């Protein structure tokens, strides 16, 4: 019975953290630093990571599986959210450098 509380507690923390990040993306402090797109990308990554981990683990179920099979399963789910986060970070760095150049 305790394991059910533990697993649902972890799931609640993951979903709660993602919702907090989504809500925090709209705050004026985050908007002033041009970070809302980065925060949304981070929230999507937080939501997708448990499912990606599950799919990656299930991909290594057969006895002849390797670590590469885990990464294929993991990145099958997590690939697009990671690309979104990477694009948002690059976009944020470019905008940050442009603002410094105009000052």
Assess whether pLDDT exceeds 80 at residue 100.
Answer: no
- For 38-85, the pLDDT digits (tens) are 999 999 999 999 999 999 999 888 888 889 999 999 999 999 999 999
Name the pTM for this structure.
0.81
CA distances from 21 to 73, 84, 102 (A): 26, 15, 30
pLDDT score at 42: 94
């Amino acid at each position: 019975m305790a394991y059910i509380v533990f697993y649902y507690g972890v799931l609640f923390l993951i979903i709660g953290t993602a919702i907090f990040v989504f809500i925090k993306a709209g705050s004026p402090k985050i908007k002033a630093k041009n970070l809302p797109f980065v925060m949304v990308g981070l929230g999507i990554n937080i939501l997708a990571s448990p499912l990606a981990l599950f799919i990656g683990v299930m991909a290594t179920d057969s006895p002849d599986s390797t670590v590469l099979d885990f990464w294929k399963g993991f990145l099958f789910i997590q690939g697009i959210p990671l690309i979104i986060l990477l694009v948002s970070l690059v976009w944020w760095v470019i905008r940050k450098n442009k603002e410094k150049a105009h000052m």
